[in-house]
């Protein structure tokens, strides 16, 4: 509107008044180029540019308007509102030095987001489809439902819900535990990126599955259960359920008695020793074989004594079969354990049986005699070099 080099000394009175009026009008509208066109403005003149929403300063060296400053400091003594007169208002804060792009002392409210001295608060509720805290226009982010309830959505769908009782996954609105999964097939997966170990905990229909290494990347995967830092049992990759050493075993039907625990299973072989005394003495030769199966405290022994040669043994002494794998248990009443005995090439008067006294690893062959004590067979009743003895006996171990 105004040429700011006017009026001049040669200007007429009427021109002088018009020039002054136009210059005052320019100043009244802040030299805003949107509403006025000022020319010949002095160097460092300041104007407001309502098109670019910025303050500018005139640089006569380049004959152009430049930003007034790269940094603006506005001190507000009381409540104030910053508005942008645009359909897409933007407040851009750029850090140019080592300080902060925005420094607020006290509280600030930005469109339902309250910045406090020690927290950022959401002052209105939101939803999974329109989360309050999100990256740009994405529909993934955190949303505020009510006091004490916060959610996380991915692509507009609720994924997590945080409450005072726990974290709900898959649409669980009121977690009943610290972690509550609510999908149709809930699954927790643990991947060890440093090795081949992978664990899945999954519910499928009516089954609850714990899967170790589902991709079968490691042929020796093992599921171990440790309590107080000590292993109690494990399940191996080849299907064995193995109790750790020093554990007490398995209890059934809610029983808590240590005596009623099943704590062992073992199979093995051993070589029986045939002698004319329970300890020491002279031993026989021949082909001797034996097997045993131990379940808990009960052991069943099956042994075969073939072609027994008794040379040098005392014929009048009882014949002992020693070196049983486990000593028999001692029970009240001085009991002894009995089993079958089949004899070849021996002198038998009555029905023979294998007999094991308590607290012993040596059995004998006894004959049941009517109205008399058990008659234990002696060495001379077996034909040397030809006698055979076959025994099966089950007894309780110590």
Residues 200-227 pLDDT 10s: 787 777 788 888 777 777 777 888 889 9
- The dihedrals phi and psi of 226, each to the nearest 5 degrees, come to -115, 135
- Name the burial class of residue 107, with classes exposed (0-12), middle (13-18) and buried (19+) by CB atoms within 10 angstroms of its CB: exposed
How many domains, the chain?
A: 4
- Name the burial class of residue 366, with classes exposed (0-12), middle (13-18) and buried (19+) by CB atoms within 10 angstroms of its CB: buried
Same domain, 375 and 289: yes
What's the pLDDT score for residue 98?
64
Which domain range does residue 388 map to? 266-396
For residue 333, tell me if it sits in a domain.
Answer: yes
Same domain, 276 and 386: yes
Same domain, 121 and 147: yes
Same domain, 239 and 148: no
Same domain, 62 and 117: no
Distance CA 361, CA 352 (A): 19
Distance CA 254, CA 171 (A): 38
What's the pLDDT score for residue 219?
75
Same domain, 361 and 282: yes
What's the pLDDT score for residue 278?
96
For residue 240, tell me if it sits in a domain.
Answer: yes
For residue 3, tell me if it sits in a domain.
Answer: no
Same domain, 238 and 270: no
Q: Which residues of the chain have pLDDT under 50?
A: none
Whether the Cβ atoms of residue 139 and residue 153 lie closer than 8 Å to each other:
yes
Same domain, 274 and 349: yes
- The dihedrals phi and psi of 246, each to the nearest 5 degrees, come to 90, -5
- The CA-based angle 391-394-396, given to 5 degrees, is 140
For residue 261, tell me if it sits in a domain.
Answer: no
The first and second tokens of residue 243, run together, are: 């109790």
What's the pLDDT score for residue 54?
86
Same domain, 167 and 193: no
- Give the H/E segment covering residue 21: helix 13-28
What's the pLDDT score for residue 90?
56
- Name the burial class of residue 101, with classes exposed (0-12), middle (13-18) and buried (19+) by CB atoms within 10 angstroms of its CB: exposed
CA distances from 245 to 232, 234, 377 (A): 8, 11, 42
Same domain, 133 and 203: no
Q: What is the pTM of this model?
A: 0.56
What's the pLDDT score for residue 72?
60
């Amino acid at each position: 509107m105004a040429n700011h080099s006017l009026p001049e000394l040669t200007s007429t009175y009427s021109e002088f008044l018009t020039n002054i009026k136009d210059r005052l009008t320019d100043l009244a509208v802040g030299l805003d180029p949107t509403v006025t066109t000022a020319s010949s403005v002095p160097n460092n003149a300041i104007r407001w540019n309502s098109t670019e929403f910025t303050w500018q300063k005139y640089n006569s060296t380049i004959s152009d308007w430049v930003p007034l400053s790269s940094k603006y400091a506005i001190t507000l003594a009381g409540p104030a509102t910053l508005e942008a007169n645009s359909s897409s208002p933007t407040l851009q804060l750029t850090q140019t030095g080592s300080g902060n792009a925005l420094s607020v002392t006290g509280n600030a409210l930005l469109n339902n987001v309250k910045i406090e001295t020690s927290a950022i608060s959401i002052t209105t509720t939101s939803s999974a489809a329109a989360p309050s805290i999100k990256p740009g226009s994405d529909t993934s982010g955190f949303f505020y439902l009510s006091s004490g309830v916060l959610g996380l959505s991915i692509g507009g769908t609720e994924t997590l819900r945080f409450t005072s009782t726990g974290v709900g996954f898959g649409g669980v609105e009121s977690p009943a535990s610290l972690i509550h999964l609510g999908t149709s097939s809930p699954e927790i997966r643990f991947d060890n990126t440093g090795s081949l170990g992978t664990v899945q905990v999954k519910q499928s229909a009516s089954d609850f599955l714990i899967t170790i290494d589902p991709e079968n990347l490691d042929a020796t995967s093992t599921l171990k259960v440790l309590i107080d830092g000590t292993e109690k049992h494990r399940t191996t990759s080849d299907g064995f359920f193995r109790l750790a050493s020093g554990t007490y075993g398995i209890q059934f039907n809610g029983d808590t008695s240590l005596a009623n625990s099943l704590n062992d299973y073992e199979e093995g072989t051993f070589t029986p020793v045939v002698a004319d005394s329970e300890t020491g003495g002279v031993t026989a030769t021949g082909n001797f074989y034996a097997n045993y199966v131990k379940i808990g405290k009960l052991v069943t022994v099956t042994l075969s004594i073939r072609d027994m040669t008794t040379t040098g043994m005392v014929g009048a002494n009882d014949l002992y079969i020693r070196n049983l794998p486990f000593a028999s248990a001692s029970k009240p009443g001085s009991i002894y354990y009995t089993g079958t005995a089949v004899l070849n090439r021996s002198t038998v008067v009555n029905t023979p049986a294998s007999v094991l006294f308590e607290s012993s690893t040596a059995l004998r062959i006894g004959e049941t005699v009517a109205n008399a004590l058990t008659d234990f067979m002696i060495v001379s009743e077996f034909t040397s070099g030809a006698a055979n003895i076959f025994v099966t006996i089950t007894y309780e171990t110590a």
